[in-house]
Amino acid sequence: MTTFDPNCLFCKIIQGEVPSYTVFENSDVKAFLDLSQITKGHVLMVPKKHLVNLFDYTSEDAKRFLRYIPEIAQAIKASDPHILGMNVAVNNGEIAGQVIMHSHVHFIPRYSKSEDGLTLKGTNHAADYDEAAYQNVANRIKQQF
């Protein structure tokens, strides 16, 4: 089942070659903080099988990997009482904004009614986080599983 692309950043994260702030992992998927932290608690979920995007999925792949979306979303929401909602997004192909060509689902917590999801594209708050801050956010989410 497992495929690996040695040139893929997410495959390297799955293999442990590149460090990440993991919030959930099992034999099917790995979920970790997006370093950009569009909003606090922004998580990516990736299948451990290298699939470029949803266009590569079989129905079996979808059953195996996408079933974790509610569990991860619920854990993120439970990690912070200030979360009011969440964008759950998948970009398929460069034209749709996909940057890393390994299927992934974004979980972007929403804290304010004034946040406009469309204006968050390109938002990067990595400069606001150090290792301890990332680890604190990751630990709060991990504790919900």
Question: What pLDDT digit, counting tens, does each position of 9-43 carry?
Answer: 999 999 999 999 999 999 999 999 999 999 999 99
The confidence score (pLDDT) of residue 60 equals 97
The confidence score (pLDDT) of residue 114 equals 76
42 included as an active-site residue: no
> b vs e for 42-80, b when ≥16 Cβ sit within 10 Å of the residue's Cβ?
bbbbbbbbbbbbbeebeeebeebbbebbeebbebbbebe
Chain segment 39-61, per-residue pLDDT in tens: 999 999 999 999 999 999 999 99
Q: Which of 102, 104, 106, 125 is catalytic?
A: 104
The CATH number of 9-142, from 1.10.10.10, 3.90.1150.10, 3.30.428.10, 3.40.50.2300, is 3.30.428.10
The confidence score (pLDDT) of residue 109 equals 95
The confidence score (pLDDT) of residue 123 equals 81
Q: Say if residue 122's pLDDT is above 90.
A: no
